[in-house]
């Protein structure tokens, strides 16, 4: 089983900081083991508020300090319908649309670690994608690994 990572907005707040070293290490391990690192395009809309934050996101997306690339998943018609299905299945309103995008990006993957500050919301929405094992981690709770 391949494990991938999906980044929510909170990941971008720490990815290029000293506190983000364990996160960067985790992402490198995911890539080395054949997984990929993704984020929803709508996540970038959350993050890219102002030139400084936009530049930080651009650097994180183009390459982590180790040169890994984050795959930005655009909201096309298929993903939009999947987001709607996630919201409907979870009985949630469009207030959680950004989190529903994160969950929809997980669909079709074997196992996913979602880096988020909203683990409860993600876990609730993840019930709509039962074929994918989704676990959440807060960026500050990731510990350095071997």
Contact, 20 vs 13, CB < 8 A? no
First and final C-alpha spacing in the chain = 20
DSSP bridge pairs for 6: 38, 114
pTM higher than 0.75, yes or no? Answer: yes
According to CATH, the topology of domain 3-141 is Rossmann fold (3.40.50)
pLDDT in tens, 19-67: 889 998 999 899 899 999 999 999 999 999 999 888 888 887 776 445 5
The angle subtended at Cα 131 by Cα 129 and Cα 133, nearest 5°, is 85
Distance CA 6, CA 105 (A): 7
Distance CA 102, CA 12 (A): 14
Tell me which DSSP letter residue 18 carries: G
Per domain, the residue ranges of the chain are 3-141
pLDDT exceeds cutoff 90 at 125: yes
Contact, 114 vs 132, CB < 8 A? no
């Amino acid at each position: 089983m391949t494990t991938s990572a999906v980044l929510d907005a909170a990941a971008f707040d720490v990815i290029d900081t000293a506190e983000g070293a364990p996160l960067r290490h985790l992402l490198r391990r995911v890539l080395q083991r054949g997984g990929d690192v993704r984020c929803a395009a709508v996540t970038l809309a959350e993050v890219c508020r102002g030139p400084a934050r936009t530049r930080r996101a651009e650097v994180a997306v183009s390459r982590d300090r180790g040169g890994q690339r984050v795959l930005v998943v655009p909201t096309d018609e298929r993903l939009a319908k999947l987001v709607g299905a996630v919201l409907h299945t979870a009985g949630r309103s469009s207030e959680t649309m950004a989190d529903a995008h994160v969950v929809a990006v997980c669909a079709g993957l074997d196992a996913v670690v979602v880096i988020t500050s909203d683990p409860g919301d993600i876990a609730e929405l993840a019930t709509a994608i039962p074929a994918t094992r989704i676990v959440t981690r807060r960026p500050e709770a990731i510990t350095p690994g071997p």
